[in-house]
Structure 1
Amino acid sequence: MTEPHVYPEAYGAAHGGFSLVPAAYVFLVDDRGRVLLQRRANTDYYDGWWAAGAAGHVEAGESVHAASAREVLEELGVVVAAADLEPLTAMHRTAPTGLPVDQRLDVFFACRRWKGEPALQEDKATDLAWFDLDALPEQVVHHERFVLDGWRDGTLSPVSAFGFAADADAAPTPPTTADAARAEVPGAAAPHEVSYGAASARDIRELIDFWAGAGENDSRPTDTPEAVERLLARDAHALIVARLDGRIVGTVIAGYDGWRAHLYRLAVAPDQRRRGIGRELMRRAEARLAAFGVTRFDAMVLAHNDLGRSLWSSLGYAEQHEWRRWVRPAAT
């Protein structure tokens, strides 16, 4: 057998300018189907959030299987065999920063066999706990939550993408068992599914009408098409909308000024509330802002909006009593 070829130096200089940072993730799974997560700390990245029990970069010359086994030993103190690593997905991931460090290839595994008792070995985490896939904590690192949710629901593709705005709207959803069952029943109607994506200029008039009916703050300045157009021109992906049968049923604005991350205009159509739309909008908004590297989110919530306050509280937000919002009209 001939030796594998290597790229010539000139070819590498012409085509090797872009690279992906490879990383390995391992979810240990116990005999009850629970996954082991660690609460991150002291990393300046998603500190306080839950993440895979073991994860880390693949070193030069190291296979992703060897990296996975090494990370499990270093972070949890247990030994796993490469043969026991079950592939979940290989994720191509990016972030709006465009920085080289944000161009990733993340390979996720599940593992149901190991030697030893898992325990934290490093100061990069403060807690270790088992969770059912249908009872995950609210704050799970966003791209890892994407994997866990898809794994639980049976919709996770062997090759996935995360953080690409165009792909998020265009990527087809893999068929589920329920889809197959409906296909076998003549005349069975497909369920009404909510889709999510960035608003565009063609949505402006509908957005104005939607906020007039779903908004909670009668004292806010009057919404105008010009104001929404300016927002979209400045940050085309800040305004996230939920649609049902083509109509807008939810919104949130995830704004970032380079210093602070702001969340506002979280609204859901009254007839669509308590369906998880607001929660999913927030998951997507936080994922967008976290990709910029922000360390804290803040939200504008009306004091008398009990339903909204309940949602924000359930998402881990807390009222900051030592601060008050001060406003005055801009000069005209």
Structure 2
Amino acid sequence: MPPATVCRLRELTPADYAAVITLWRSCPGIGLTEADSYAGTVAYLARNPGLSVVATDLTGAIVGAVLCGHDGRRGYLHHLAVAPASRRQGIGRQLVEECLARLRTAGIAKCNLFLFADNAAGRAFWLRCGWHTRLDLMLVQRATT
């Protein structure tokens, strides 16, 4: 794999929202809901300061992004995406490794993520990165309203 051509990784901030939501909308396999509104994303970033990351190219344009947070015990990654033209350069892996390093600094030793069952490309990426599927667990969900 050739080295990534990003100029840097940096913290995702509220000012990045327009570029990041456009990126997420352009990537199949990213499930967006009302929680991904500007207000919802800003609240997530405030609750998890310094954990979410963007990758920028040499012009400063965002070419990758991931939301990262934790509940005090486990880390969580959401919406990892790399622009199609910037894929296969190690950017996704760099984003993940940066988030894991930030979680370790926060004292979080394990990280989980949610992946749609029909997202074969996403599953292949995560397996290549050393993640594994837990078949002994089931996601159970209920709205609070």
Partner residue of 2:105?
A: 291
Unaligned runs of 5+ in 1: 1-191
Deviations 1:271-308 (A, max 9, x none): 21111100100110111111223332212122222222
- Per the TM alignment, residue 200 of structure 1 is displaced from its structure 2 partner at its CA by 1.5
Residue in 1 aligned with 2:68? 254
Query: Residue 197 of structure 1 aligns to which amino acid in structure 2?
Result: R
- Greater relative contact order (Cα < 8 A, sep 6+): 2
Q: Percent identity?
A: 30
What is the RMSD computed on CA atoms of the aligned residues?
1.9
CA distance in 2, matches of 1:307, 1:215: 10
In the alignment, which residue of structure 2 is the partner of 1:263? 77
* Other-structure match for 1:231: 44
**Secondary structure of the corresponding residue to residue 78 of structure 2:** strand
Distance 2:97 2:15 in 1: 24
Normalized against structure 1, the TM-score is what?
0.40
- One-letter amino acid of the counterpart of residue 70, structure 2: Y
Query: Which of the residues 20, 33, 42 maps onto 1:221?
Result: 33
2:13 aligned with 1:206: no
Amino acid corresponding to residue 236 of structure 1 in structure 2: P
Counterparts in 2 of 1:324 and 1:259: CA distance versus 1, 3 Å: same
SS in 1 for 2:107: coil
Number of the residue aligned with 2:118 = 304
**Alignment TM-score, normalising by the size of structure 2:** 0.85
1:315 to partner: Cα distance = 1.8
Task: Give distance in 2, aligned partners of 1:217 and 1:193.
Answer: 22
**Can you list the C-alpha shifts for 1:86-135, whole angstroms capped at 9, x where unaligned?**
xxxxxxxxxxxxxxxxxxxxxxxxxxxxxxxxxxxxxxxxxxxxxxxxxx
In the alignment, the residues of structure 2 paired with residue 193 and residue 221 of structure 1 have an alpha-carbon distance, to the nearest angstrom, of 29
CA change 1:289–1:215 in 2 (3 A) is farther
| Whole-Å separation in 2 of the counterparts to 1:242 and 1:213 | 16
Pairwise CA distance, 1:329: 2.7
Give, in whole Å, the separation in 2 of the partners of 1:311 and 1:290: 22
> Secondary structure of the equivalent of 2:77?
strand
Specify the alignment match of 1:273 in structure 2.
Answer: 87
In 2, distance between residues paired with 1:284 and 1:273?
Answer: 17
**Between structures 1 and 2, the one with greater helix share:** 2
276 and 303 in structure 1: CA distance in 2 versus 1, 3 angstrom threshold? same
Choose 1 or 2 for highest CA Rg. 1
Alignment length, in residue pairs?
140
- The CA deviation at 1:268 is 0.9
Runs of 4+ off more than 6 Å: none
Q: CA deviation at 1:215?
A: 5.0
Deviations along 1:126-157, one digit per CA (max 9) or x if unpaired, are xxxxxxxxxxxxxxxxxxxxxxxxxxxxxxxx
